[in-house]
Amino acid sequence: MTKIKPLADRVLIAPAVAEAKTASGIILPDSAKEKPLQGKVIAVGGGTKDEEMVVKVDDTVLYGKYAGTEIEWEGEKYLIMRQSDILAII
């Protein structure tokens, strides 16, 4: 559990790990790995008067390729983004 508490309609997400090898077994270097487009919700803000928070902690979500801001906290990488940048809950 992280001590980061998002404000308003923001969500803290732990991105899924990028695949290290292809389906045929070719090992990919870090520079060739696709940025994952899904992750697990770690923390959510309280929402705003105009936007109720729909996502909740432990949801797995899909988001856009360039959504959010990457942060590193205590050696872990996270994304923080607005709830409206999330495309779907899966």
Question: What is the per-residue pLDDT across 21-50, written as a single tens digit (0 to 9) for each?
Answer: 667 777 766 665 567 799 999 999 999 999
The CATH number that applies at residue 55 is 2.30.33.40
Q: Is residue 81 part of a domain?
A: yes
**What phi and psi values does residue 32 have, to the nearest 5 degrees?**
-100, -10
Question: Does any domain span residue 1?
Answer: no
User: Which regions of 16-75 does DSSP assign to beta strands (E)?
Assistant: 38-44, 60-63, 69-73
Task: Report if residue 3 sits inside a domain.
Answer: no
Q: What's the whole-model pTM score?
A: 0.82
Question: How many domains does the structure of the chain reveal?
Answer: 1
55 has a pLDDT exceeding 80 = yes
Chain mean pLDDT for the chain: 88
Residue 33 lies in a domain: yes
Q: What dihedral angle (degrees, nearest 10) is formed by the CA atoms of 86, 54, 4, 76?
A: -40
Domain assignment present for residue 2? The answer is: no
Query: Which residue range(s) make up the domain with 61?
Result: 10-89
Do the domain assignments include residue 47?
A: yes
